Amino acid sequence: MLGPESLQEYNDTQVKVDSFREFTSLEYLTIPEACLSERVKFSPRLGQLDIEDSVCSIRDLVMSIAKNVKAGLYLDLKEITVN
């Protein structure tokens, strides 16, 4: 089993996705937390987001999503699940 430092190092070495905006019909997304940048942009049609394999703090990611929801960018977003 990996320790906290090893998990953070693993997350830091993964390719990060910055935007899903070009996928205008994307309504459901399941993605490992290690692949999400802290400022990722989602499709405006996204209704459900499942973040898998979360081993590090996602505070900054959640704050960024909340800011975009308040700005009206994700009107269809109803559910976020973190595993």
- Over residues 4-50, the pLDDT tens digits come to 566 667 667 777 889 999 999 999 999 998 898 888 999 999 999 99
- The full set of domain ranges for the chain reads 4-82
Report the pLDDT averaged over residues 46-57: 90
Q: Please give the full DSSP string across the chain, using - where no structure is assigned.
A: ---HHHHHHHHHHSPPEEE-TT-TT--EEEEEGGGEEEEEE--TT--EEEEES--S--HHHHHHHHHHHHTTS-TT--EEEE-
Please indicate whether residue 36 or residue 1 has the higher confidence score (pLDDT). Answer: 36
The per-residue pLDDT for 57 is 82
